[in-house]
Homo-oligomer: A and B are copies of this chain.
Amino acid sequence: MELWYTEKQTKNVGITCKVKGTLYSKRSQYQNINVIDTYQFGTMLVLDGAVQTTLVDEYIYHEMITHVPLNTHKNPKNVLVIGGGDGGAIREILKHKSVERAVLVEIDRHVVEASKQFLPQISCALTDSKCQVLIEDGIEYIKNNKGIYDVIIVDSTDPVGPAANLFSKDFYISIYEALKDDGIFVAQTESPFYNQDLIKRVFSDVKEVFPITQLYCAPIPTYPSGYWSFTMGSKKYHPLEVQVGKVANLDTRYYNAQIHKASFILPNFVKTLLKDGKIND
């Protein structure tokens, strides 16, 4: 018998993967958590029916959500990840020697536990002495921590269920206040093909809060449309002013200094989406 797992990425299109078996299945207080073993992508973490990360392609997402802001910042020491209970962002953050403290605030302890058990290649840095894991609501946490972070990364699920409020303007204001005077914020902001209204709204909201707002993209095979966006809000540093020669010599499989800059070059349809035409101009 062949088992196939299908995620409907929109109501009209899906990705379907041949499955060896289910490794973990739990209904937590917040969501359905499944870890499955797939032939194409290896171990796969699925939350509420949406692929979050897979052993085979996770590096692209985790490298791009971390190294772009951390190399844009001149000297990141304190870094916060909201969501990202799999630990992949923390693993990449701790590749930066300047980082003294990486805090993970994940609402669902079962995501952390499942990742530690079934995705050790991704979660490996969660036990690092520089990493602190807090099982808390990121929205509450951020309200109570002002002016202390150099970089804040919102590594959330889709904007439904537990993550919905992580895509609100009020939350971006709280993030702004939790950052130091030269702080940088990045959030995953879905597919430029399938989630255009969301991208427009988030970009507009972040732009009202941060003086420098930029969108960048990367290909990720297991995410809807295979093409993903990240929105950056920065108080001082511009991501395109990064000195290519100064970019840390990181052990990466997707990211490099040229990719850092190229990821901000947007196709016409994405420029149009962001309306004012001033992106990258």
Contacts and interface: CB of A to CB of B under 8 A. Distances in A.
Q: Chain B CB within 10 Å — which of A6, A259, A267, A280 has the most?
A: A267
A12 B11 CA distance: 22
Contact of A10 (B11, B40, B265, B271): B40
A248 interface: no
Copies in the complex: 2
Interface string A2-39: 00001000111111111000000000000000000011
B227 A255 contact: no
A258 to B, nearest CB: 5
A265 B262 contact: yes
Interface string A226-240: 110000000000000
Contacts of A256: 267-268, 271
A71 interface: no
A12 B6 contact: no
A196 B166 CA distance: 37
B10 A6 contact: no
Nearest to A193: B221
A153 B221 CA distance: 26
A171 interface: no
Contacts of A226: 219-221, 225-227
A278 interface: no
A261 B262 CA distance: 8
A39 B259 CA distance: 34
A254 interface: yes
Contacts of A227: 219, 221, 226-227
Given A15-B14, A17-B13, A253 B225 contact: no
A24 B193 CA distance: 27
Contacts of A280: 258
Contacts of A225: 219, 221, 226
Nearest to A226: B226
Contacts of A10: 40
Contacts of A40: 10, 12-13
Nearest to A14: B16
Given A13-B18, A219-B226, A256-B267, 13 more contacts: A6-B16, A10-B40, A12-B40, A13-B15, A13-B16, A13-B40, A13-B41, A14-B16, A15-B16, A254-B268, A259-B266, A259-B267, A259-B268
